[in-house]
Amino acid sequence: MTAPSDTPTSGFVTIFDDTYDQPDCRAYFRMMDRLGYRNQHHAVAGFRAGLAEMMRLRGLEQARIVDFASSYGIVSALMAHELSLEQVFARYRQPVFDSASSAEVIDLDRGWLSGLRRPAPALHVTGIDVMPNAVAYGRAVGLFQSGFVEDLERAEPSEGLGRELARCDMIVECGSVAQLMPRALDRMLAACGPVKPWVMTSPIRGNERPEATEVLRAHGLVVERLPIPAFIHRRFESPEEQARAIANAQAAGHDTEGVETTGHFHAQILLARPEAECTDPADWSMPLDVPPMADGAAPADL
């Protein structure tokens, strides 16, 4: 999801608008592969750990997740399927995807994903994005059980989205330019039930939004950073982008030596949850020490 032009993030990163609303996901994932995206590889491991702990505390056997700024559904793909980001990238390098029609890609992806679905936990994922084709793709291939094309920075949730928010257990946001935008976040949480969902997001360092933290706290949630090292988001597109990123990270109080100076944006995982559910992440049942993602992968089966 791209940031509206009036947000403070404008000019912070290079925005690849032409990849975000194609009829299928090829351009999007090939762009991510070319630029060395790694955020989802690390963040989703943390999200799954948080999800397992939230479900344990609430005694849930299934969970409803809202994926904000969902784009083509990479978070759902990694959370709900036996699948790695490496395998996703390798899939769309295959020559068959050079000439296939969008309808053929969707048909191939639907069959591919259906065979990789994790039996547990049972997840119902609602995708929210401003890009119609991205949401439509996610629905068509089964990544989203429900999907909404809505701009929550500018309008209240629709009646249908409101119903999904009222029963959601977790809101996730992974690698978006704008992080969780405060107005959108406030509208989502206001539509949620009395027991607020956990919120997990993976903002680029220097792109944290203090206003978003204020919104989360106003809705009774405790906000913290998961105690894991900063991880790669993606390579910088240019020296100018790196200079902007270093300046923004330093302005936010981060030491950039050996991090952004290596040539990559870095990210972190932020967590917000009700105070009564603030267990120690070090005791969570899933490991948060995620090995680095390799630079290449074997081709995935169609």
Q: Domain of 147: which CATH number?
A: 3.40.50.150
User: Mean pLDDT over residues 280-285, rounded?
Assistant: 88
Of 202, 205, 182, the C-alpha closest to 75 is 202
Asked whether residue 299 carries a pLDDT value surpassing 70, the answer given is no
User: Mean pLDDT over residues 90-98, rounded?
Assistant: 96
**CA 211 vs CA 89, 172, 184, 215, 295: distances in Å:** 34, 17, 11, 6, 36
Of 300, 3, 272, 25, the C-alpha closest to 138 is 25
Domain of residue 219, residue span: 26-232+269-279
What value, to the nearest 5°, has the Cα angle with vertex 186 and ends 183 and 189? 150
Of 136, 165, 182, the C-alpha closest to 65 is 165
DSSP summary character for residue 21: T
Q: Is residue 297 part of a domain?
A: no
Q: Is residue 16 part of a domain?
A: no
Asked whether residue 37 carries a pLDDT value surpassing 90, the answer given is yes
User: Mean pLDDT over residues 63-69, rounded?
Assistant: 96
Give pLDDT tens digits for 121-151.
999 999 999 999 999 999 999 999 999 999 9
Split into its structural domains, the chain has a count of 1
Give pLDDT tens digits for 181-228.
899 999 999 999 999 999 999 999 988 888 999 999 999 999 999 998
Q: Check residue 285 and give its pLDDT.
A: 73
Sequence-distant (≥ 6) Cβ neighbours of residue 154 within 8 angstroms: none
What value, to the nearest 5°, has the Cα angle with vertex 80 and ends 82 and 282? 90
Q: Is residue 46 part of a domain?
A: yes
On whether the CB atoms of residues 155 and 58 are closer than 8 A, the answer is no
Of 221, 292, 223, the C-alpha closest to 45 is 292
Q: Is residue 238 part of a domain?
A: no
Lowest-pLDDT choice from 59-68, 230-239, 270-279: 230-239
CA atoms within 13 A on the CB side of 260: 23
Percent of the chain with pLDDT strictly greater than 90: 80
Asked whether residue 297 carries a pLDDT value surpassing 60, the answer given is no
Asked whether residue 12 carries a pLDDT value surpassing 70, the answer given is no
Asked whether residue 1 carries a pLDDT value surpassing 50, the answer given is no
Q: Is residue 17 part of a domain?
A: no
Q: Is residue 76 part of a domain?
A: yes
Q: Check residue 4 and give its pLDDT.
A: 35
Tell me the pairing of strands 221-225 and 198-202: unpaired
CA 186 to chain centroid: 18
CA distance 166 to 203: 25
Tell me how crowded residue 300 is: count the other CB atoms within 10 A of its CB. Answer: 18
Q: Is residue 219 part of a domain?
A: yes
Q: Is residue 247 part of a domain?
A: no
Percent of the chain with pLDDT strictly greater than 70: 87
ω into residue 8 within 30 of 0, thus cis?
no
Give pLDDT tens digits for 152-187.
999 999 999 999 999 999 999 987 655 568 999 999
Tell me the pairing of strands 231-235 and 264-267: antiparallel
Of 159, 178, 200, the C-alpha closest to 51 is 200
pLDDT bracket for residue 8 (50, 70, 90):
very low
pLDDT bracket for residue 295 (50, 70, 90):
low
